[in-house]
Amino acid sequence: MSDNEQLLSIGAPGLDVDRLVAEIQATADRKMRDGVYSDARVARAEKTNLVHLRGTDGFLTFYLACLRDAVFVDISDFEIRERRSAFAPALVALKKVIWKLLKFYTYRLWSQQNQVNGLVITALQGIEEQTEGRIAKLEARVAELEARLGAAAVPGKARGDG
């Protein structure tokens, strides 16, 4: 009896968590490639998981795609509210005045920051693509050299056998 069969016999017939997880992960991987998770919220969610993901294949590509969605800070106007009920209208009015005074400066600041964020993420993606391309070429070259080495070794082995 294989290990897998032993595991299956423990639980409900037909249920195999290894298979279930493998199916789910394959679907998740495909969706990641399709951009389903290229979402700033996913980048934010992964911030405490980064240390566990660093060595994962394709992680950097995925994470940069998520970050691409996150780099641009929303600098448009927003509804100003006040949670404390006492003096709420007065506090809202005060906040609106403060916002109007600061808006000119913060708009300039954040629009420049957005430009920098965008340039940095583009540069990082470029570096990552270049590195991936170089690694792929090197792997292909290593495989080719190994194949040549293998082919060269066969006659020698035959001679030794003889």
Instruction: Give the span between the Cα atoms of 77 and 71, in whole angstroms.
Output: 18
Q: Which of 1, 10, 154, 158 binds another protein (CB under 8 A)?
A: 10
Q: Which 8-state DSSP code applies to residue 48?
A: G
Task: State in angstroms the smallest separation of the CB of 78 from another protein.
Answer: 15
Q: Two tokens at 91?
A: 């506090």
Cβ-based nearer residue to another protein, 13 or 150? 13
User: Per CB under 8 A, does 2 bind another protein?
Assistant: no
| Stretch binding another protein (CB under 8 A), from 15-23, 104-112, 119-127, 136-144 | 15-23
Task: State in angstroms the smallest separation of the CB of 127 from another protein.
Answer: 22
Does the CA dihedral 89-94-97-102 come out positive or negative? Answer: negative
Instruction: Give the span between the Cα atoms of 117 and 121, in whole angstroms.
Output: 6
Residues 22-51 that bind another protein (CB under 8 A): 24-25, 27-28, 31-32, 36-37, 39, 41-42, 44-49
Instruction: Give the span between the Cα atoms of 38 and 61, in whole angstroms.
Output: 10
